[in-house]
Amino acid sequence: MNTVPTIFVIFGITGDLAQRKLLPALLSLYVKKVLPKKFFIVGFSRRSFTREEFRQLIRDEMNVKSGQYKGEEIKHFLDHIVYEQGYFDDVDSYERLFLTLKKIDEYWKQCSNKLFHLSVAPVFYEKILANLASSGMTIPCGGDEGWTRVLVEKPFGNDLATAQKLDALLGKLFNENQIFRIDHYLAKEAMQNILAFRFANSLFEPLWNNNFIEGVEIKLLESIGMEGRGGFYDDIGAIKDVGQNHLLQMLALVAMEHPKNLNPKMIRAGRADVFKHLMPVKDRNLSKFLTRGQYEGYLSESGVKAESKTETYFRLITYINNSRWKGVPFSLETGKALYKNKSEINIYFKNKINPKSTNVLTFRIQPNEIIQIRFWVKTPGFGVNIEPKTLSFKYSDWGIANPIPDAYERVILDAISGDQTLFASTDEVKYAWKFITPLIKIMSNTPLKIYKKGSKGV
């Protein structure tokens, strides 16, 4: 356990992300006793509450299953949270926040580590970062102990230009090793296993190229619709919401080269290198390779514009311009309000003799995490028929002794320990946007097909 006192400042603590993901993850880590012993959460938000009202709100809103924790555990956890009412654009609010942090340091009689988490809509990033900087709060009070770090949620910017502007601003206030750009998909347990599986099993490496792989399918399918996020989603659509980040990161883990060593710098550089080699969309006629759709009923979701042409589904075939992957189609597919929840990667191996009998390697990221191989066997009897069977490893086989941590638990622990492996680097963000930015325009000119809720999309 990290012994340096740590303060986790959450901008937007009353918001959806903080309530649904961050606070439950912090509570879980607290109960597992893996947070620093001296630990405080300072929540910053606009609304004004008494101490008891705030504690009640957190208790009510947190996405905690009933019976998951003992009442005492939640009570003690709440004792580690203080609330600071303030406005993102009000300098005085930051002065008050600074004083609160100082008081906690004085109480501990130690200079503490400080993590600032921007759990707010991206339009507020600039304001918060600028005010944080002028308040002096981002200046570390110590060296290795007493650091300051910032956690930023995706989407990082809205296109290449705005992402670079945001990065320049972050770069003015922090060094790269203080900036943690969250793509929580990278922190999912089954995503982490892709590299472990690829690099620990020599069986696959000789086959991991265009000689043996016919195509790769990457899917992030969701059965949920807008869930109250219509206003935010309508401005960005599926391509920016999950295409620029989660889907590309899934692709990167399949396609990246084996780094010379597995340190964070090399792994991040490996992922960035994949994005750098994505075939630019302007070089291709995309009509055969891109479809997009919107689910029936999307227009009546709250926050969605009446005539909105925003896509809630897309499928894109893309290619990677390097010797390993030249000619191999990578299909990226995502959608909301579909027939099921499934995030999965399927790798199809070539069968030159019998093209229909392909072997398929599947990484199911969620739900029911699995790694599975489809192979072919002879059906018993006097005939010579073959049929597909599977070899599979299910995470549930590990049972409760090895529960899968939530991605945000991993994000928080890695940010505290300073390990940036599972966070996007400035290069990853840059190359991902270089690929996606021209696609946004092409996407908006692609016919929008309407699909039924609960269907397979278009």
**Can you tell me the distance from the alpha carbon of 418 to that of 143, in angstroms, rounded to the nearest whole number?**
13
The DSSP secondary-structure symbol of 200 reads: H
Nearer to ligand BG6, 105 or 222 (CB): 222
| DSSP element (H, E) containing 268 | helix 264-276
> Running DSSP on this structure, what letter comes out for residue 404?
P
139 Cβ neighbours under 8 A, 6+ residues apart: 148
DSSP track, 32-55: TT-S-SSEEEEEEESS---HHHHH
For the sheet with 179-182, list strands across it: 81-85, 39-45, 6-11, 113-118, 148-153, 179-182, 423-424
Active-site residue set? 246
Member of 173, 242, 432, 448 binding ligand BG6 (CB under 6 A): 242
193 is written with which tokens? 């296993």
Which one of residues 84, 167, 214, 222 is an interface residue with ligand BG6 (CB under 6 A)?
222
Instruction: Tell me whether residue 222 or residue 409 sits nearer to ligand BG6 (CB atom).
Output: 222
Backbone φ and ψ for 84, nearest 5 degrees, come out as -125, 110
Residue 105 in contact with ligand BG6, rule: CB under 6 A: no
Cβ at position 236, least distance to ligand BG6 in Å: 9
Question: Interaction with ligand BG6 in 266-295: which residues (CB under 6 A)?
Answer: none
Task: Find the residue with minimal CB distance to ligand BG6.
Answer: 241
In whole angstroms, the minimum distance from the beta carbon of 238 to ligand BG6 comes to 8
Find, among 418, 433, 396, 341, the residue nearest to 151 by Cα: 418
Instruction: Decide: residue 51, CB within 10 A, 0-12 exposed, 13-18 middle, 19+ buried.
Output: exposed
Q: Is 115 helix (H, G, I), strand (E, B) or coil?
A: strand
Q: Which of 53, 227 has the CB closer to ligand BG6?
A: 227
Per-position DSSP letters for 293-338, written without gaps between them = EEETTGGGSTT--TT----SEEEEEE-B-STTTTT--EEEEEESSB
* CA separation for the pair 347, 356 (Å, rounded): 14
The smaller minimum CB distance to ligand BG6, of residues 113 and 346, is found at 346
Smallest separation (angstroms) from ligand BG6 to the CB of 241: 5
Alpha helices by DSSP H, listed for 22-145, are 23-31, 51-61, 71-78, 91-108, 125-135
Least distance between ligand BG6 and beta carbon 21 (Å):
8
Least Cβ distance, residue 280 to ligand BG6 (angstroms): 25
DSSP state of 401: G
What is the nearest approach in angstroms of ligand BG6 to the Cβ of residue 20?
9
Q: How many residues does the chain have?
A: 458
Tokens 């029911």 correspond to what residue?
Answer: 368
**Strand, helix or coil for residue 117:** strand
Residue 310 and residue 293: Cα distance in Å, rounded? 8
Q: For the CB of residue 52, give the shortest distance to ligand BG6 in the complex, in Å.
A: 31
| Identity of the residue, 40 or 295, whose beta carbon is nearer to ligand BG6 in the bound complex | 295
Nearer to ligand BG6, 242 or 286 (CB): 242
The only residue of 235, 241, 273, 301 in contact with ligand BG6, by rule CB under 6 A: 241
State which residue, 84 or 311, has the beta carbon closest to ligand BG6: 311
Hey, is 384 helix, strand or coil?
coil
Per-position x/- string for 346-365, each x denoting binding to ligand BG6 as judged by CB under 6 A, each - no binding: --------------------
Q: What is the nearest approach in angstroms of ligand BG6 to the Cβ of residue 341?
A: 8
Residue 454 zone, left/alpha/beta (φ > 0; ψ -120 to 50; rest)? left
How far separated are the first and last CA of the chain, in Å rounded?
49
- Give 84 or 241: the residue with its C-beta nearer to ligand BG6: 241
* Residues 6+ away with beta carbon under 8 Å from 118: 11, 12, 124, 125, 128, 129, 150, 151, 152, 153
Tell me whether residue 241 or residue 311 sits nearer to ligand BG6 (CB atom): 241
Minimum distance between the CB of residue 376 and ligand BG6, rounded to whole angstroms? 32
* Size of interface with ligand BG6, in residues (CB under 6 A): 4
Q: Among residue numbers 107 through 166, which ones bind ligand BG6 (CB under 6 A)?
A: none
Site residues (vs ligand BG6, CB under 6 A): 184, 222, 241-242
